[in-house]
Chain A
Amino acid sequence: MDLKVNDYTTDDGLTVINVEGEIDVYTAPKLREKLIDLVNKGKFHLLVDMEKVEFLDSTGLGVLVGGLKRVRAHDGSLELVCTQERILKIFRITGLTKVFGIHDTIDEAREKRKSQK
């Protein structure tokens, strides 16, 4: 199954990355390339929408952690939108719920970002 990765930037400067499909050792490089490309283009505030992600393994987690590391080097942020229990469980097992901001919706993430400005 292909991994679909699309992005758009909101008027408040947040780049939303929609990810659809399975993120594993085969498909994760595509997401990694997208995150690196966005950072190279100066997009340092990223929100990864994982509501259509059907599978995520540690390779995918590693890509997200790598993306977080890159944006933090520019005082940026990388947060997630995810309500799927099967995906959230992996973040809990690895302790990454303490590393990533995880929101229920894109709007919630945007509102929280506005309130922190």
Chain B
Amino acid sequence: MATVELSFSALPAHVRTARLIVTAVARRSGVPETLLDEVRLAVGEACSRAVEAHLRCCPDEPVRLEMTDGRRFEVVVNDAVPSEGPDGTLPAESSPGSPAWDGLGLALGDGPDSLGLAVIAGLADHLVVSPTPKGVQIRMSWPV
């Protein structure tokens, strides 16, 4: 099992760099070519979400990624924006099942965050979104 870690300033321009690195590591880890597009898009979504959250709350904090290969290729994206719920629950905007997540809600919004998580949920073979003491963690994995 090997791990690659990436930390980047919360700037939109760096999201593409993160996508390219993750795709390269996924390919090297043995993720099938047919899944690489899904890895690239899902991780890009998670990074975009983290960058936008950092820009709102803590622009000087870097976004952190961990890529681990083994039986599965796993990517963990950590942001440093603490959840807003009283019991460590996720911010309301982050759930695809939230009231904003319906056809009408989509048509009324310009870029709801829930879209990003919905895309990740549709692409990642396994997904866990959880609050951590420091922020929100998105853990995704694919078979190799």
Total A residues in contact with B, Cβ cutoff 8 Å: 26
Contacts of A28 in B (CB 8 A): 111
Contact string against B for A residues 30-50, beta-carbon threshold 8 Å, 1 for contact and 0 otherwise = 001000000000000000000
From B16, B37, B118, A94 is in contact (CB under 8 Å) with B118
State whether B116 touches A57 (Cβ < 8 A).
Answer: yes
> Does B25 sit at the interface, judged by CB under 8 A?
no
State whether A22 touches B16 (Cβ < 8 A).
Answer: yes
Total B residues in contact with A, Cβ cutoff 8 Å: 27
Contacts of B52 in A (CB 8 A): 25
Is chain A's binding surface mostly helix, strand, loop or mixed?
Answer: helix
Roughly how many angstroms separate A94 CA and B101 CA in the complex, as a whole number?
Answer: 10
> Does B106 sit at the interface, judged by CB under 8 A?
yes
Q: Which A residues between 1 and 28 are near B, CB-CB below 8 angstroms?
A: 1, 22, 24-26, 28
Apart from the given pairs A24-B15, A57-B41, A58-B48, 18 other A-B contacts in the complex at a CB distance below 8 Å = A24-B12, A24-B16, A24-B19, A24-B48, A25-B48, A32-B110, A55-B19, A57-B45, A58-B45, A61-B111, A62-B109, A62-B115, A63-B110, A65-B107, A65-B110, A66-B111, A69-B107, A94-B122
State whether A68 touches B107 (Cβ < 8 A).
Answer: yes
